[in-house]
Structure 1
Amino acid sequence: MARTSRRRRAAKLMAKPSVKAESSLDELSSLDELKGNPDDRISSLPNDILVNILDRLDVCAAARTSVLSRRWSQLPGMVPRLTISARDLLPSETKTSISNAELVRKTTAAVAKDLANATVSKAELVQRTNAAVAKALADAAKAVANRAVAKATKSILARRDPGGWPIRLLSMTFYLRDDAPISVGHAVGSAMVTFKVEKAEFTVLTEKERLECTIDDLMKYGARFVSFFNECTNTFAGLTRLYLENLRFAESDFVCNILVTCKRLKHLGFLNCDTESWITLQIEHAELSELSIVNCRFDMVKVDWVPKLTRMVFEFWMSFKEPPLSFGYVPLLDVLSVSNVGLSWHEMVKLSTFLHETSVRDLRLGFKCEKIWVQPECLTKRLASVFHQLRIVNLVDIPEGYDLTWTMFILEAVPSLEEFYMTVMDHPCEMQMDQEKRRAKLYSEDKGVEWESPASNFRHHRLSKLIIFCFQSDEHMVSHVRRVMKAAVNLGDVYLYDRLTCPKCRHVKPLKRTRFPETSKQRCWVEKQVRGGIESLATIHFLRNTKIRDEHVSRIV
């Protein structure tokens, strides 16, 4: 009886994994007390149910249950999915400030000494000191979290029964610093030899964010990763997912070495990665199904032979060649997202050159509130064959205040289009606002593009939905909705959303005054302007940004 009471008290003292899990524990415990059952009801459940419960908790909460009894101590080692992330293990602010008091003192003293002879104001001295202290604390917290990842990985995998349940998912997220990556790599590699591991994932982070990294930082991180990779080659050979950020490799063929070594990869992501010299990256992989290349410095990316590729993201190229992306054998490519900041010297890209070897059904094009980099094309037999599979097109962050007639070429070129999304919005938080820097970096001041359809009586028979985010009752937007409704004879719904809320732009005034119809009277007037002289059965919905429909949410990410 005493042992049961201790187990119950231990269960109540566990960290709260979730409201649902906590309420279930309390309800079962209360039932035991009412019925006078000397055995707790949870522990009487079979192992597979208990493991299923633990599988729904984070790894820390699941590990804490091992203190309940000898039987419970074995259960965390049976959980089929192990996700351990340094981000989740970062110490709380209170613990960090207490445990690093000495670090704060030393950092403050060092900054004060460096600035003692500098001609800076007291306010600037305080600001710089606070920034240095914050950075030192953040670095210390990441070091602690990294060590916790390595320790938890080794501990949990060491307790698993080699003849027990297979590992369906082994996902590790850690920072590229100290000895933690190699420790995690060896532990995961041993697990791959000992157990059946269906999916193994590495997310490799760096201490600095992308915008903070200098070239020296990129080189340093790249060298660290190469050492890590060479030390744990067998582990990388078994990975099914790999995400890398902020790396520059001295050897131009190292990215190809990753592809050759990681033969089981199904998902691969690069953010701000490149080589010292500009290269043409040729991608050939038998298993890869998802590929993401964002802010990477490659002269050209050729997806030559990836027979299982279904999704690809390609954003922000810096190549002087156009187009910077080409496809070879990608028969299953279904979803493609391409974005760029168009500069004045960039040549406009014809979509037919991107897609002529693909069967893409869902296409996302991003413009980052700058120059339109897509070249409108007139419908030809060849163009029609290129776009014959397209069903959904999403145009993101079109700059405000420019004529939208050019987007009609998509309707004319894509006869099977069913859903057409558009977001017309300027983001001051992401745009280069300094006029001198805009001129120096050759940003285009005229961001629009002119196009006139050669087919004045064009009709589209498949489009059923038109969705516009950040709609305004300006003449160019109202006219564009009219054009689409007139051409799309079977259009069912038109969703016109208010301006989206950008967390980073929250405290910045919009560059232009917004004119979304707020009142029913204003909406009636706008609908009258849209429908005037058009025979359309489409329903027009005016929606606030707080009531975005579930099926539209994924299109604004």
Structure 2
Amino acid sequence: VFLNENPKGFIISQQPKEEDRLSMLTDDILLSILARVDVRTAARTSALSTQWRRLPWLLPEISINAKKFLPIPGLNPIEVKDTEEAMASLTKATRSFLGNRHKESSISTLHLKIYLINTFLREVGPLIGAATDSGLLKDLDLTILDEVDALDRSEEDMLQRAQEIDAFFIAYPSVLHFLTKLSLYNVRIDKLDTHHLLFECCKQLKHLCLSRCDTGAHPPFKIDAPNSELRVLELAKSRFERLELLWIQPEMKQLLPAFNKLRKLSVRGIFVEFYLEWTIAFLVAAPCIEMLHIEVWEHTCDLDEKIRRWYPKRRTPRWEMHFDGSKNSLLKELEFIGFRSLRHQFTFIRSILERAPNMQRIVLKGDEQCEYCDALDTPPCPSKFPKDEEQEIVVKRIRDGIFSTQIFFDE
């Protein structure tokens, strides 16, 4: 780039006649660069030159996220007008990439995160439908966002969301045809025609994520889909009286092939009073595991009245597991968060040691900081983590005169 001064005294730049180095790169390299930026940046590159103008539409995979169009990302709470503006921008971007303007488009995989605003869904739905019907779009990852905390959503709100999602899928059935991943937030699942929509209409669904969802006071959430492609079922902070996966019984036989090569396992959010022996089922299914992370839950916020109405009664699982005599010879480290001197926790840790002859290190930690507990006005509960003078007793109780594994305490 050369800088010259024009007659009026302004400095202007002049490009050399030869092509710049970036434009000399091949299309596959330029597409590799574009694949690493967000969709807004990728679209803007089309203004750089004639060569760049067509490149964003040659990407095989794109991600369009309504959160990226918010005026202030990360702001909480988000104003309704901001979500509406974000969806307006998302609709424009979706139309740009999936519309008929670019005949040579190669987009086959779309990751789409949207807010449930009917005004814009009526435009996004037909765009996706047309793209799937034409054979352009073959893989759809759809997330229906909700920024509102579950405790601030009434049952009527969650029911309304379920009805709107139902209406969206019924209005645009093509969306279901190539849906491979679906993530839902704050939805009354029992009011969706879940089984028909997700396991009969969605022939390609492989990953289902339900966050802050529930079934109200109705019967258990049942999934019986032996012919589905479902490979991942992710439940986060959801409230189900019971979840029944009828087609993967018994549990152990299904775990074995799935966890056979697993190296690290993290099991989080176990209620402190639950017996832990059932988690050994994972070790049986994962003979190559090297690190096991267990986190139990006992927080002040769990006593909050809002939460109690969703969890009226705790149940201790009593699964009958018949473990074989094999060992986890590769397991070397156990990290236990939320440790307390409870009988069943000692029993669990010694059971792990019996299965893991090469265990080298056990780390016992107290409860992690919880923003919900901190937000409560009630004084914090005294720590139940072993005090310094109690830790030697804990070590002796775990080792039981048999084991010599190193044990560390981290409050």
TM-score by length of structure 1 reads 0.57
Q: 1:229 aligns with which of 169, 172, 179?
A: 169
Instruction: Give 1:179's aligned residue.
Output: 119
Alpha-carbon shift at residue 242 of structure 1 (Å):
2.3
Alpha-carbon shift at residue 60 of structure 1 (Å):
0.9
8 Å contact 1:327–1:357 — kept in the other structure? no
Q: 1:511 aligns with which of 369, 381, 387?
A: 381
Alignment map for 1:467-546 (pairs within 5 Å): 467-470=334-337, 472=339, 474=341, 476=343, 479-480=346-347, 483-484=350-351, 487-488=354-355, 490-499=357-366, 501-505=368-372, 507=374, 511-515=381-385, 527=395, 530-531=398-399, 533-536=401-404, 538=405, 540=406, 542=408
1:325 maps to 2:305: no
Residues 371-411 of structure 1: CA deviation (Å, up to 9, x unaligned):
xxxxxxxxxxxxxxxxx9999876534455x6x9x545765
Give the number of equivalent residue pairs: 392
Alpha-carbon shift at residue 172 of structure 1 (Å):
1.4
8 Å contact 2:298–2:338 — kept in the other structure? no
Alpha-carbon shift at residue 490 of structure 1 (Å):
1.5
Alpha-carbon shift at residue 54 of structure 1 (Å):
0.9
Instruction: Give 1:153's aligned residue.
Output: 94
Q: 2:231 aligns with which of 281, 305, 310?
A: 310
Closer/same/farther in 2, CA of residues 270 and 256 from structure 1, 3 Å limit: farther
Instruction: Give 2:303's aligned residue.
Output: 432
Q: Secondary structure at 2:68's aligned position in 1?
A: coil
Alpha-carbon shift at residue 154 of structure 1 (Å):
0.5
Q: In structure 2, what is the Cα distance between the partners aligned to 1:314 and 1:151?
A: 32
1:461 maps to 2:327: yes
Q: 2:21 aligns with which of 41, 49, 57?
A: 41
Percent identity over paired residues = 22
Q: Secondary structure at 2:118's aligned position in 1?
A: coil
Q: 2:180 aligns with which of 240, 243, 251?
A: 240
Instruction: Give 1:372's aligned residue.
Output: none
Alpha-carbon shift at residue 57 of structure 1 (Å):
0.3
Closer/same/farther in 2, CA of residues 468 and 481 from structure 1, 3 Å limit: farther
8 Å contact 1:361–1:392 — kept in the other structure? no
Residues 259-295 of structure 1: CA deviation (Å, up to 9, x unaligned):
333323222334456789x8xxxxxxxxxxxxxxxxx
Q: In structure 2, what is the Cα distance between the partners aligned to 1:209 and 1:492?
A: 41
Residues 145-202 of structure 1: CA deviation (Å, up to 9, x unaligned):
01111011112333764345x2242121111113211211211222234453231222
8 Å contact 1:461–1:488 — kept in the other structure? yes
1:143 maps to 2:84: yes
Alignment map for 1:65-214 (pairs within 5 Å): 65-92=45-72, 138-158=79-99, 161-164=102-105, 166-194=106-134, 196-206=136-146, 208-214=148-154
Instruction: Give 1:350's aligned residue.
Output: none
Code of the residue aligned with 2:244 in structure 1: it is: L
Q: In structure 2, what is the Cα distance between the partners aligned to 1:393 and 1:40?
A: 49
Two-structure CA RMSD over aligned residues (Å): 4.8
8 Å contact 2:185–2:213 — kept in the other structure? yes
Code of the residue aligned with 1:422 in structure 2: it is: I
Alpha-carbon shift at residue 305 of structure 1 (Å):
1.1
Q: In structure 1, what is the Cα distance between the partners aligned to 2:202 and 2:342?
A: 54
Q: Secondary structure at 1:468's aligned position in 2?
A: strand
1:358 maps to 2:254: yes
8 Å contact 1:421–1:468 — kept in the other structure? yes
Code of the residue aligned with 1:355 in structure 2: it is: E
Q: In structure 2, what is the Cα distance between the partners aligned to 1:73 and 1:180?
A: 27
Q: Secondary structure at 2:179's aligned position in 1?
A: coil
Residues 55-83 of structure 1: CA deviation (Å, up to 9, x unaligned):
11001111222222232222222222211
Instruction: Give 2:6's aligned residue.
Output: none
Higher relative contact order (CA 8 A, sep 6+): 2
Alpha-carbon shift at residue 526 of structure 1 (Å):
6.0
1:269 maps to 2:209: yes
8 Å contact 2:208–2:234 — kept in the other structure? no
Residues 3-41 of structure 1: CA deviation (Å, up to 9, x unaligned):
9xxxxxxxxxxxxxxxxxxxxxxxxx9xx99xx785321
Residues 229-255 of structure 1: CA deviation (Å, up to 9, x unaligned):
233222332322222333458977464
Structure number with greater Rg is 1
Q: Which residues of structure 1 form unaligned runs of 5+?
A: 4-28, 97-133, 279-296, 331-352, 364-387, 452-457, 546-557
Q: In structure 2, what is the Cα distance between the partners aligned to 1:222 and 1:409?
A: 34
